[in-house]
Amino acid sequence: MKKTLGYVAIALAAVVITVVIFRYYTGLTAPTKVPKSATTVLQINLRQLEKNLLLDLLSHPLKYRRQKRKRSDSLKRKYKSLTQGVSIPKAMYFYRMPNYPGWHSVPLTLSNRQTFESFLNKEGLLASVYEEVSIFSMNQIHFYLRENELVIGVSEQPIQEQRHTLFTATQYMASDNETLVNLVNSSADLTLGLSSGELITGTFEKGRFVLDGTLGPSFDGLLTTTHAHAPGDIVGLDFKLNTEASVVPTWLSDNLNERFEKFTHLAVDSIAPALNGSLSMRLTAVKTVQDTIVTYAYDDNFNKVETMSFQQSTRPDARLALGLEKQARLYDYFVQQEAIQLVESRPVFTPIPVYSLRPEEVNDQFVLTTGEVAEAAEFEVIKFAFKFRPAAYLEQPLEIPLSAAVKRFFAMTASIEMMVDNKNQLSGAIVFLNPYRNFLAQLIRP
């Protein structure tokens, strides 16, 4: 009897190992429908992500029992039509190409179109039908359906005139294309293939999401600058844009310009020529300050009575420096526009009235300072650097409303960093306070 049970156990173990190897350790095959004109291709390794979540489930089963059963059953019913309506591949591929705004996926197979449309309708999405292509839109996410195929797009507006080419392009990349070969050979969870042959990878590890890659020697959007910071900084940002290269998309640039002018009442076209593209920003601390408010009233005998009250508020210790072109006189321009005014005999930058900002021009930089900013202690030669300590920020946050989801994310995050060095090498990481569970699993089930 014991021998029989032993053989059964060995047979079951062999079956499980075979299934695991077949499902999670067989290589990917190159997609067949990536347009030849695509400049960037993103690979999302769904099987790799599934494996990460499965291992986390096996390692921390109690984390998955905390969710209320009713909510769990509701989610299962909600997405049952999604999983039954679409054939989930081993990996998904999104691409960008000229004259097509945003990102679009390689066509997916619909195993049951009616079931999938039912899911979209339950989510409140209504179809716009253009000949044989149905388009369901939710904000900037668009689902294109034709016969038994599905294309997912992410763009400002859905593509209408060229919708057919999302399903049938003129030419496709060959399976031995360098970009596709590099993608399918990548072991990362997310892999971005550039037309120059470079790769940028993203991996969900225990306690962290790691970004690594290179922007390629031909990338000219950023110039060398200095990252000045101190170990205790809450936020640090340094970069220098190449003003002769088109780095920011036109639609985004126009949107930012419109918002800036509406908020500050200053003309971007008058400010931009004075800037050389460099920006340096540091938030070293957030402090609680007590403001004294004096008001006056009159009593019944018409005597003037002074009343004092106290109000606490938060104030950042922060510094923002914008690099200036030679001979630029941005400070004088702001004075002419009355954007800099004297308040209690001190110059104050008034377009941003939330905090008292002290303006000055120092070493070819226009600098705005509030509070007392600690001196920088470390200096690095880079092209881009961003550092943020969310959990530390929450210990004494500014009076800026945050959603519950953002607060939860900040509370579990020790640091967020991204850097591009002077050789265009890209590196970055989001580090959680809990180093023992997979990053993605913590996002889904904290």
Q: Report the pLDDT value the prediction gives residue 425, as an integer from 0 to 100.
A: 93
Reference 409, options 386, 385, 433; nearest CA is 433
178 and 249 both lie in a single domain:
no
271 and 161 both lie in a single domain:
no
Q: Report the pLDDT value the prediction gives residue 105, as an integer from 0 to 100.
A: 94
Where do runs of H (alpha helix) occur along 272-403? 330-336, 390-395
Q: Which of 347, 366, 388 is the last residue of a domain?
A: 388
243 and 378 both lie in a single domain:
yes
122 and 159 both lie in a single domain:
yes
Q: Report the pLDDT value the prediction gives residue 264, as an integer from 0 to 100.
A: 76
What is the secondary structure of 256-277 as a DSSP string? HHHHHHHHH---HHHHGGGEEE
242 and 323 both lie in a single domain:
yes
Per the listing, tokens 């913590």 go with 442
184 and 247 both lie in a single domain:
no
Helix (H, G, I), strand (E, B) or coil at 32: coil
Bridge partners of 94, per DSSP, are: 42, 105
Q: Report the pLDDT value the prediction gives residue 15, as an integer from 0 to 100.
A: 46
| Amino acid symbol at 340 | I
Residue ranges for the chain with pLDDT beneath 50: 7, 15-16, 19, 22, 70, 251-252
In whole angstroms, what is the distance from residue 131 CA to residue 129 CA?
6
Q: Report the pLDDT value the prediction gives residue 25, as an integer from 0 to 100.
A: 55
How many domains does the structure of the chain reveal? 2
235 and 307 both lie in a single domain:
yes
277 and 368 both lie in a single domain:
yes
| Contact yes or no for 110/145 (Cβ under 8 A) | yes
- Regarding pTM above 0.75, the answer is yes
The residues near 24 (Cβ < 8 Å, ≥ 6 apart) are 47, 48, 50, 51
Bridge partners of 192, per DSSP, are: 42, 200
In a domain, 255, yes or no: yes
End-to-end CA distance of the chain: 45
329 and 237 both lie in a single domain:
yes
Phi and psi, residue 318, nearest 5°: -140, 155
Q: Report the pLDDT value the prediction gives residue 376, as an integer from 0 to 100.
A: 85
Bridge partners of 56, per DSSP, are: none
Query: Other C-beta atoms within 10 Å of 312: how many?
Result: 8
Q: Report the pLDDT value the prediction gives residue 205, as an integer from 0 to 100.
A: 94
Q: Report the pLDDT value the prediction gives residue 149, as an integer from 0 to 100.
A: 93
| Contact yes or no for 287/314 (Cβ under 8 A) | yes
What is the secondary structure of 428-441 as a DSSP string? EEEEES--SSBHHH
List, for residues 65-76, the tens digit of each pLDDT value: 755 554 555 555
Q: Report the pLDDT value the prediction gives residue 7, as an integer from 0 to 100.
A: 46
Q: Report the pLDDT value the prediction gives residue 196, as an integer from 0 to 100.
A: 76
| Contact yes or no for 441/52 (Cβ under 8 A) | yes
List, for residues 220-230, the tens digit of each pLDDT value: 788 999 898 88
Task: Give whole-number Cα distances, 41 to 30, 102, 115, 173, in Å.
Answer: 12, 12, 29, 11
In whole angstroms, what is the distance from residue 277 CA to residue 280 CA?
10
Q: 272 lies in which domain range? A: 220-388
